[in-house]
Amino acid sequence: MININKIIAQRYSSLQYLTGFERNRAVIYCSKRHRAYKIFCLLLCGLILSGCTSVFFSGASAAYDRYNWQEKIKNQEISVSIDNAFKSDARFRQSNIKTTSFNYQVILIGQVPSEEIRQLAAQIAADTAGVKHVYNFIEIGQPSTASQELCDTWLTTKIKGEIIAHADMDPDQIKVISENNTVYLIGILTHDQAEQAIEIARYTEGVKKVVKIFEYITYSKIDHEAEPSASHK
């Protein structure tokens, strides 16, 4: 427990020369300093714990030999390349397409005005260097409203947070995206981990449908699920 009087005495040499106003200001000053110190300590503890968590998850990734940072960068480059192709093509001006690349598999979601544009988007993605497979979930219709986009963002954030908090997996093993209350789960998981993620998404309020695109992994082999399957609430 900090002795305010002692601190004030050290700062002003002697308490007897302080007026009531000066004393009050000194107490406020010292209290603020103490509060700032406590906040600093809490932040420092948080950073330390975050570091420990990062080490724990990194160890899990190494043990399963899954999805390293070089691959994440390459997949990010694939997504950016496809997005830039859409933005530079006048035929996509009335389209709303979101691109996600995970383990060189590209997932397209959003809305376009026609089937022709929908197929064109899939072809552009498939022709991009490094892409192994394209899952085309684009719908024909008007772009999502701002309120729907906000709802989808909230669903993604909530589900990802629940997976981090409760599922027994490295968060980097799975990607969560949402569109029109449909949640897409893409990842490299064991069967048990996949079930955990599906259950979390399925029972999240506001979710209408869950689509999974998983590569199943065991200690001895990798089982690849070639086709995505939908899991309804």
Tens-digit pLDDT profile for residues 156-171:
999 999 999 988 888 8
Which residue in 115, 65, 107, 56 sits closest to 91, CA to CA?
115
Report the relative pairing of strands 139-140 and 174-179 from DSSP bridges. unpaired
User: pLDDT at residue 231 above 50?
Assistant: no
For range 107-129, the mean pLDDT: 98
DSSP-derived secondary structure for 58-69? HHHHHHHT---H
Q: Return the amino acid letter for 135.
A: Y
Answer yes or no: are the C-beta atoms of 211 and 231 closer than 8 Å: yes
216 token code pair? 């199943």
Answer yes or no: are the C-beta atoms of 187 and 214 closer than 8 Å: yes
Task: Kindly report the three-state secondary structure assignment for every residue of 145-204.
Answer: CHHHHHHHHHHHHHHHHHHHHHCCCCHHHEEEEEECCEEEEEEEECHHHHHHHHHHHHCC
For range 164-186, the mean pLDDT: 92
User: pLDDT at residue 47 above 60?
Assistant: no
Max mean pLDDT range (38-47, 57-66, 131-140, 213-222): 131-140
- Report CA torsion sign: 54, 56, 59, 64: negative
**pLDDT tier for residue 11 given thresholds of 50, 70 and 90:** very low
Tens-digit pLDDT profile for residues 83-94:
999 999 999 999
Instruction: Give pTM, 2 decimals.
Output: 0.66
**pLDDT tier for residue 215 given thresholds of 50, 70 and 90:** very high
Q: Mapping DSSP to helix (H, G, I), strand (E, B) and coil, where does residue 79 land?
A: helix
For range 92-109, the mean pLDDT: 96
